[in-house]
Structure 1
Amino acid sequence: MKAVICRDWGGPESLSVEEVPLPEPGPDQVLIDVGAAGVNFADTLMIAGKYQEKPPFPFSPGLEITGTVRALGSNVSGLRAGQRVMALTDYGGYAEAALARAGDVYAIPDSLGPERFGWAEAAGFPITYGTAHCALRWHADLQPGEVLLVHGAAGGVGLAAVEIGKAIGATVIATAGGADKLAVAQAHGADHLIDYREEDIRERVKELTAGKGADVVFDPVGGDVFDASLRCIAWSGRILVIGFAAGRVPQIPANILLVKNIAVMGVYWGSYRKHAPERLVAEFRELFGWVETRRLKPHVSHKLDLQQAAEAMALLLERRSTGKVVLTTGAA
């Protein structure tokens, strides 16, 4: 089978596509013929040796896949060969076939056939929508009628937060850099738009909320954007720290937290796979239901072949994509 291979730490240009043996599933594993693999910023960190997990060389990057079950380990039940699934992997997703732990494999409901939830849309679904749902439902307890401020709203996780915020019943303010990206956020439900290149986030949020501020802030950007959020969060508001795409990890003045009675919460959705995997089952059940009712419409801006993995990563690093970037294989 073909796989994208990393043989040493480096950038996307260091990757190669090679023929490798088909893996055999262990007792608790599932072998999946990969239809598509989601491309994530974490993949770029992994191949550079900057991610928290450092797989042994050679390895294939790729943390989320969709496809059909090819083979089951001896201890696996509840799945069958040929079943459409999406799965989380520690690495190895950029390949025509990949292994996943059985507990990380989720059957796609029959009601979501390929015409409704294709390989590409499903491949870019678990991490972005799982993260946004976890943050807004479990951590912030977002309520109908509250104001949600979403930064990086045209990116994968930001766009998922826009849609989930609307599904819950919030008023969504979206920020992004440029009219094209804001148009994507608006098409997916954002009520108000802020171009942070041209407008002052703090002033616009205050204006849009009659001085109150946002009840919840979803922030995968960090840096100056986080600083602005501290200045436009409502009394007793909640700020969700998702990541630091801007590059600077902000320092939080504790006196502002005290005076405004606000909470700042870190969200690492991937840790639930280890600490509370049962919660993910219920989470995906709700998310799949929202896809069925068309409240969620996964957006994939670029579908590239496995051979174009380096280009796919570059799209993320250079911020030239919206929604998700996905690699397709044709193998499933």
Structure 2
Amino acid sequence: MARIIRFHQHGGPEVLRIEEVDLPPPGPGEVQIRVKALGLNRAEALLRAGSYIETPVLPSGLGLEAAGVIEAIGEGVMGLAHGDAVSVIPPQSMVRWPAYGELVTFPAGLIVKHPASLDWQTAAAVWMPYLTAYGALIDIARLRREEVVVITAASSSVGLAAIQIANSVGAITIAVTRTSVKRQALLDAGAAHVVVLEEEELADRLNQIAGPQGVRVVLDAIGGPIFEPLTAAMSRGGILIEYGGLSSQPTPFPLPAVLGKALTLRGYLVHEITGNPEKLEAAKAFILEGLADGALRPIIDRIFPFDRIVEAHRYLESNGQFGKIVVTV
């Protein structure tokens, strides 16, 4: 028997339940992991609330990131062994492959033997943020040295990963945040500049920082009215990559800027990387190298025990965190 976390109805954090189940052994091509730590993501709160892109059959498990020790290996799995310390690449479906549990099963292709320098909590905080940021900035935008990149929702785990990845290639990072509370923390985390939405006019401030070259790359998780000032500050031929939708307000289409500057507005999900073996291998190599040389290092905000998953989800939805929320098992 193993404890897992499920929900039997959509709702707030209180619908999460810890239940004991008898899990089958891993099937062909699968690996079963004794989990040590979980990384929390906003997608899990959306699934729980019934507003995610995936519709679960209830009761449903959830979770996208985990780190732990291999407990059992299914037929045909090569290169992995019982006792290996591993972490999990986010699956295409967390309903099919949920991570919230003491014991979880995943396809072997989503299992990574992580660097020995990482503790369990850090290893559980790697793959979703860094794969998301890598796919947007490196694979799609081809971000280059000395280019200006704007990163909204910059204090999120993806935002902080994006700052580190942009810095690793020599780009100039502008972190956008709602209030001044996290300004210094963002500068300490490596942002070259910070723009505070409640205190500064976004387009003017971006133009002031970027100068004549303008902003070629924008990584946005918000949408809504922010689209207009963001595109107003972009350079000709620039690209805005949208990977979220945190704003509850309508997102206008900035037609004059898009036409006048030949801009690209592009939707993006991390599945573009995780679902493409060639791109995933390139991403893993980039991230593992960055972890090894210290250029990349997950920032963990708070750690909760498994039994306090409801409290961890409440904190996730408070938007008060700086970096990743982790749950130890």
TM-score, normalising length: structure 2: 0.93
Query: Which whole-Å CA distance do the structure 1 matches of 2:312 and 2:67 have between them?
Result: 17
Paired position in structure 1 for 2:160: 159
Q: Which moved more, 1:84-93 or 1:213-222?
A: 84-93
Q: Which moved more, 1:242-251 or 1:13-22?
A: 242-251
Query: Which whole-Å CA distance do the structure 1 matches of 2:24 and 2:53 have between them?
Result: 24
Query: Which whole-Å CA distance do the structure 2 matches of 1:98 and 1:246 have between them?
Result: 33
Q: Which whole-Å deviations, capped at 9, do the CAs of 1:147-171 have from their partners, x for residues lacking one? A: 0111111111111111101001101
Paired position in structure 1 for 2:307: 307
Q: Which moved more, 1:242-251 or 1:36-45?
A: 242-251
* 1:96 correspondence with 2:102: yes
Which amino acid in 2 is paired with 1:313?
H
How far off is 1:211 after superposition?
A: 4.6
Question: What is the correspondence of 1:128-143 to structure 2 with a 5 Å cutoff?
Answer: 128-143=129-144
SS at match of 1:210: helix
Which amino acid in 2 is paired with 1:103?
G
Question: What is the correspondence of 1:226-305 to structure 2 with a 5 Å cutoff?
Answer: 226-248=227-249, 250-274=251-275, 276-305=276-305
SS at match of 2:128: helix
Query: Which whole-Å CA distance do the structure 2 matches of 1:259 and 1:72 have between them?
Result: 56
Paired position in structure 1 for 2:325: 325
Q: Which whole-Å deviations, capped at 9, do the CAs of 1:6-39 have from their partners, x for residues lacking one? A: 1122221111112222342111211011111111
Question: What is the correspondence of 1:1-332 to structure 2 with a 5 Å cutoff?
Answer: 1-87=2-88, 88-89=90-91, 90-91=93-94, 92-108=98-114, 112-113=115-116, 116-248=117-249, 250-274=251-275, 276-329=276-329
Q: Which moved more, 1:197-206 or 1:171-180?
A: 171-180
Contact 2:38 2:99 in 1 (8 A): yes
Query: Which whole-Å CA distance do the structure 2 matches of 1:101 and 1:155 have between them?
Result: 28
How far off is 1:120 after superposition?
A: 1.3
Query: Which whole-Å CA distance do the structure 2 matches of 1:31 and 1:305 have between them?
Result: 21
Q: Which whole-Å deviations, capped at 9, do the CAs of 1:54-97 have from their partners, x for residues lacking one? A: 33332321111111111111121111111111113433211111
- Structure 1 residues 9 and 105: CA distance shift in structure 2, 3 A: same
Query: Which whole-Å CA distance do the structure 2 matches of 1:230 and 1:32 have between them?
Result: 45
Q: Which whole-Å deviations, capped at 9, do the CAs of 1:93-115 have from their partners, x for residues lacking one? A: 1111111111111121xxx32xx
How far off is 1:203 after superposition?
A: 0.9
Contact 2:225 2:250 in 1 (8 A): no
Query: Which whole-Å CA distance do the structure 1 matches of 2:71 and 2:65 have between them?
Result: 17
Tell me the number of residue pairs that the alignment of Structure 1 and Structure 2 aligns: 323
SS at match of 2:319: coil
Query: Which whole-Å CA distance do the structure 1 matches of 2:123 and 2:274 have between them?
Result: 19
How far off is 1:277 after superposition?
A: 2.3
SS at match of 1:209: helix
Gaps of 5+ in 1: none
How far off is 1:191 after superposition?
A: 0.6
Contact 2:304 2:327 in 1 (8 A): yes
SS at match of 1:36: strand
How far off is 1:255 after superposition?
A: 3.9
How far off is 1:239 after superposition?
A: 0.8
Query: Which whole-Å CA distance do the structure 1 matches of 2:108 and 2:13 have between them?
Result: 30
How far off is 1:228 after superposition?
A: 1.6
SS at match of 2:138: helix
Percent identity of paired positions between Structure 1 and Structure 2: 30
Which amino acid in 2 is paired with 1:105?
I
Query: Which whole-Å CA distance do the structure 1 matches of 2:48 and 2:239 have between them?
Result: 34
Q: Structure 1: which 4+ aligned runs deviate by more than 6 Å?
A: none
Query: Which whole-Å CA distance do the structure 1 matches of 2:173 and 2:316 have between them?
Result: 24
SS at match of 1:16: strand
